[in-house]
A = this chain, B = another copy of it.
C-alpha cells in the first residue's frame, strides 16, 4: 500500500486523474482512504481542486439478494456499455469487507472480462474501518472517477440493510436485481428497498428459467404497481435480463437513458444532486464536530462526570451541560 512517503504532489495527482491515468487514479483513491493525517490533508486538497470536474457522470446503484448474480450482471451490463465506447467505473460498497483479506483479488476475479477492458475501471470496496466510513469513501472515489472521465459509475452494494440506505444518498438511479421464480418476500427483499428502486431486473432469464422469470416479472410488476405513488415523475419498472444471452441489457440501458433525459428535463436530476450534496455537507459537519469534541481533551472531565452520574450524585442532564461547558472552554483556549 502507498504510504505518505510515496505521496505525490496534489498537482501530479490532479494532472494524472484529469488525463485519465488509471494508476494515478488508484493511487489517489488509496491516498483518500489512508488514515494518515498528512495523506488526509492532501486528499482533501486534491478533491477540492477537482470539484469542477465532478458530477458529469450518471451514477447507478445496483443491489439485490445474495445469489442474484450481481457481479455477473455488472460484468455483462458493463461490457454492453463499453462496447458502445462508454467509459465506466465500478465501485463496491461493502461495510463488512476487509482489504487485507483479499477483496482486491476477489473483485478482479469476479469480473474477469470487464477487469481487462481498457474502458472499465474496477475498484474494490474500501476496508470496513476507514476514517469516515465506507459510504463516504465510496462517494469520494466516485468523484475522483468522474474527474478521470468515467461517464457511468456503477455502485454495487454488498450486504443488506444500511448500505442500501447509504447508497441511495449518492446515486441517480437505483437498480434492484431479483431472482426468477420467487416474489420479494421469499427473496428477503425489504419493502424499503422495493420502494427505493427505480427499476427491478429479474436476472437469469435464460434456459430453463424463462418461465419462472416471466412469473417473477409479473409479480414484481404487480408489487411495484401497489407501491407506486402519484407524486413522482418516474414510475419504477420491472424487466427481465440474462447476463448469459445478453437479453434485456439493451432494454435496461434504454430505460436508464430515458430516466436521465426525463429527470434532467424536469429539473429533478439536479434537484436530487443538490439535496445529496447538502446532505453530505451535514454528514461531514457531524463527523468533524464529533472529531473536534474527541480532540478537545475532555477525557478526564468526561470520566469524572460519568462517575458522578453512575453514582447518582448529579443528574445526567447537568453532567452533560458541564461537559459542553468544558468543550467551550477548550475551544476558547485554542488559537483562533
A contact residues vs B (CB 8 Å cutoff): 44, 47-48, 51-52, 54-55, 274, 277-278, 280-285, 287-289, 292-293, 305-306, 309-310, 312-321, 323-324, 327-329, 331-332, 334, 336
A281–B319 CB distance below 8 A = yes
A316–B274 CB distance below 8 A = no
* Interface of chain A: mostly helix, strand, loop or mixed: helix
A332–B336 CB distance below 8 A = yes
Tell me how far the C-beta of A223 lies from the nearest C-beta in chain B, rounded to whole angstroms.
20
The CA-CA distance from A196 to B280 in the complex, in Å, is 34
The CA-CA distance from A293 to B314 in the complex, in Å, is 25
A332–B329 CB distance below 8 A = no
Task: List residues of chain B with CB within 8 A of the CB of A292.
Answer: 324
A309–B277 CB distance below 8 A = yes
Q: With A285-B324, A288-B321, A332-B336 given, name 14 new contacts (CB 8 A).
A: A44-B317, A44-B318, A48-B318, A277-B309, A277-B310, A277-B316, A280-B317, A281-B306, A281-B320, A281-B323, A282-B320, A284-B316, A289-B293, A289-B324
The CA-CA distance from A284 to B309 in the complex, in Å, is 12
Task: List residues of chain B with CB within 8 A of the CB of A282.
Answer: 320
Task: List residues of chain B with CB within 8 A of the CB of A288.
Answer: 320-321, 324
Task: List residues of chain B with CB within 8 A of the CB of A312.
Answer: 51-52, 54-55, 277
Tell me how far the C-beta of A52 lies from the nearest C-beta in chain B, rounded to whole angstroms.
7
